[in-house]
Amino acid sequence: MQVSFRTDTGLVRPSNQDSCACGSFSENAAWAVVCDGVGGAHGGEVASALAAKVVRETLEDGFSPELERQSIRTLILNAVGKANAAVYGAAQEEAALQGMGTTVVVLLAADGYLHVAHVGDSRAYLKRAGGLAPITVDHSFVQDLVSFGQITPEEARVHPQRNIITRALGIHEEVQCDYSCFDFSPGDLAMACTDGLTMYAEDGVLLKTMEEHDGDPDGLVEALVDLALESGGADNVTVAVISDHRE
């Protein structure tokens, strides 16, 4: 397994409210977490950094090669729950941080499976020989409109309320986290990213870039962030990928 990531403030924002952490447990297991903070510049930075830190520590403390699929699911959801409690608690202790929150996407690849948990509108994708597919559904106002058939996905990309999320980590004492598990085979690639990328790149553009950098995850994350910057860079942008390069 190989893990790569890049984060950038972008060309407009004064600070980077995105946070990312990733690592490998072994040749056969790796993880990544991507967060996009909300609640003002300072609050957003604090929320995303704290959430990524807590998720990282929980995964590193709790993972072992002997864990079965259900135990890994429990570990990831526990990590997100702890991160929610940490962000919520920090916001209650300091008036300037009240109302802060963050999106979160957690990827953990182990033993032929990809475990995915998320809250908010940061996304995860899975690339296989058959193409690229989004494997999370945004918790956002415009996604609800798309789901109910009121607007198209193309209209959602330019909707004036596209930045409104309906679920975030750290806003309330408890958070509902979506979880899924997928087969993850040699040659597959998983990506987590913030909306600083997806606001500019449709799935076809993402797939084309991935194919151009096949076998080069470091080059891929550089290319994807550069794509967002060259397209306007109006938001912070963060990309993390896990690739199974084994034959």
- Angle among Cα 129, 107, 170 to the nearest 5 degrees reads 145
Number of structural domains the chain divides into: 1
Which pLDDT value is given to residue 23?
96
Task: Give the number of other CB atoms < 10 A from CB of residue 47.
Answer: 35
Q: What is the pLDDT of residues 89-118, one digit of tens each?
A: 999 999 889 999 999 999 999 999 999 999
8 Å CB contact between 179 and 73: yes
> DSSP assignment of 173-206, as one string?
SS---EEEEEE--TT-EEEEE-HHHHTT--HHHH
**Interior/surface letters 80-110, b for 16+ CB within 10 angstroms, e for the rest:** bbebbbbbbebbeeeeebeebbbbbbbbbbb
pLDDT of residue 246 exceeding 80: no
- 41 band by pLDDT with thresholds 50, 70 and 90: low
Which pLDDT value is given to residue 244?
87
Joined tokens for residue 98: 């009240």
Which pLDDT value is given to residue 247?
55
- Of the candidate ranges 121-135, 141-155, 159-173, the one whose mean pLDDT is the lowest: 141-155
Task: Give the number of other CB atoms < 10 A from CB of residue 237.
Answer: 31
Q: What average pLDDT does the segment 74-88 reach?
A: 98
CATH assignment at residue 73: 3.60.40.10
- Of the candidate ranges 40-49, 96-105, 182-191, the one whose mean pLDDT is the lowest: 40-49
